[in-house]
Amino acid sequence: MIQRKLEKRAKLLITCPDRPGIVSAISTFLHEQGANIVQSDQYTTDPESGMFYMRIEFDIDDFDKAFEAIQMEFAPIAEDFSIEWRLESEKRMKKMAIFVSKEDHCLLELLWKWRSGELIVDIPLVISNHPDLKDTVESYGIPFYHISVSKDTKVEAEQQQIQLLKQYDVDFIVLARYMQILSPNFVSEFPQQLINIHHSFLPAFIGANPYKRAFDRGVKLIGATAHYVTDDLDEGPIIEQDVLRVNHRYTAEQLKIVGRNVERITLARAVSWHNEDRIITYGNKTIVFN
């Protein structure tokens, strides 16, 4: 379904200790600001002593003025209920950078959805440690930057990448099968802004040729995991997972093809949910209001 930006739509995401009166206070506040709530989702981890999470979509007239007023005047309620909160404008288009190596399946899925209007973002650049996909990316009218990475040049390469991302004022970065481990310094520059995709065999079949070893073991499910990147390799908060069923008739190469399909689908979902402000992280988990 082709999406469109709604000029009067805003989204409020909150996290706080659970207690009576939160929903009433927020709803009353938005009503007094002239907002019309069009969607509201909430979740409590433990009704007795847990945390409360909420996502509200609402429309407001005279958007820019009202949006600024809400940002300023919500602070007393947030303080009263110990709320961590984020207010997002639907009409502001996020800037998404893509990192890629040689494999193109996840990259192309994102570019297809972007060009078809299913993924409403600005893609100001694609960065790769290999030149292979330059023509593909530039055929979409998107700047392509080749920054080679080796053990000896990793620090310098990451500084170049960070400089480019800040130059383009990027909101978040998607690692579309970018086959490099990012340093803690790089990750710290973009907290909760890095989305990665990998096969879901982990912790089994670690390292090279996982599909060959999965074939040798006779696996019956091929999966993929999309998650936020943290300093702990492949252990950041999980956004989305999916699986496709296989059987003994599949060759190792056919398993790899299935793996690519589930990777691109899973990553695209995770990117869409992040772009639409549907995710709240807590600890090493996520709440996804989809």
Residues taking part in catalysis: 234
The DSSP letter of residue 175 is E
* Residues contacting residue 96 through CB under 8 Å, at least 6 positions apart: 121, 122, 123, 170, 171, 172, 173, 174, 271, 275
C-alpha distance across the termini of the chain, in Å? 15
Amino acid at 222: I
SS (H, E, C) 212-260: HHHHHHCCCEEEEEEEECCCCCCCCCEEEEEEEECCCCCCHHHHHHHHH
d(Cα 138, Cα 136) in Å, to the nearest integer?
Answer: 6
Tell me which residue of 103, 194, 96, 178 sits closest to 142, measured CA to CA: 96
Q: Would you say 277 and 11 are in contact if contact means Cβ atoms under 8 Å apart? A: yes
